[in-house]
Amino acid sequence: MSSAAASGRRSRPTEDHRRAVAGPCERGSGTVLVLGLVAVVVLLGTVLAGLGQAQAARSGAQGAADLAAVAGADALRHGEDACAVARVVAARNGGTVDACADEGGGVLRVEVHRAAPGVARLVGSGARATAAARAGPASARGSRAAAS
């Protein structure tokens, strides 16, 4: 019996002992595992950032559509070119008018798109966010469903 075993102390494992326990193929596998986990976290963060940016673009497009529809309906009431006013207001709010229609009774329907920022494009949520809005006098409410 060795003196280390007799005294109850454990001897330090040798390099050969470590290889025998861990196996030659497992050396460095922890590093690969950590790198894989970091890659998953980065990918998840990128996806979440893209979704957040896409939602922000959608909200911005809806705001631009709402403002353009209200301004256009007001211009329509005053006999001005409602769609021209809607285009200007949408542009000032970061949007572009795709469609503009006088639905009669002083009601104007406007469809607007807004470009989605960088990461949102990479995530696949589309290069643009779209929204539509209707505006007009309260007396025209019964003619169609509530504003979209």
pLDDT digits (tens, 9 = 90+) for 37-55: 999 999 999 888 888 888 8
In a domain, 33, yes or no: yes
Q: In this predicted structure, what is the pLDDT of residue 145? A: 46
In a domain, 101, yes or no: yes
Give dist(CA 125, CA 83) in Å, integer: 29
Give dist(CA 83, CA 109) in Å, integer: 9
Residue 74 has pLDDT above 90, yes or no: yes
Half-sphere exposure of 59 (CA within 13 A, CB side): 6
In a domain, 88, yes or no: yes
In a domain, 10, yes or no: no
Residue 22 has pLDDT above 90, yes or no: no
pLDDT digits (tens, 9 = 90+) for 98-112: 999 999 889 999 999
In a domain, 20, yes or no: no
100 φψ region: left (φ > 0), alpha (ψ -120 to 50), beta (else): beta
The residue segments making up the domain with residue 49 are 28-143
Tokens of 148: 């979209």
In a domain, 82, yes or no: yes
112 φψ region: left (φ > 0), alpha (ψ -120 to 50), beta (else): beta
Report whether 1 contacts 8 (CB < 8 A). Answer: no
Number of domains in the chain: 1
Identify the bridge partners of residue 118 per DSSP, sorted by sequence position: none
Q: In this predicted structure, what is the pLDDT of residue 148? A: 45
Of the candidates 85, 55, 79, 54, the residue with the CA atom closest to the CA atom of residue 67:
85
Q: What is the pTM of this model?
A: 0.66
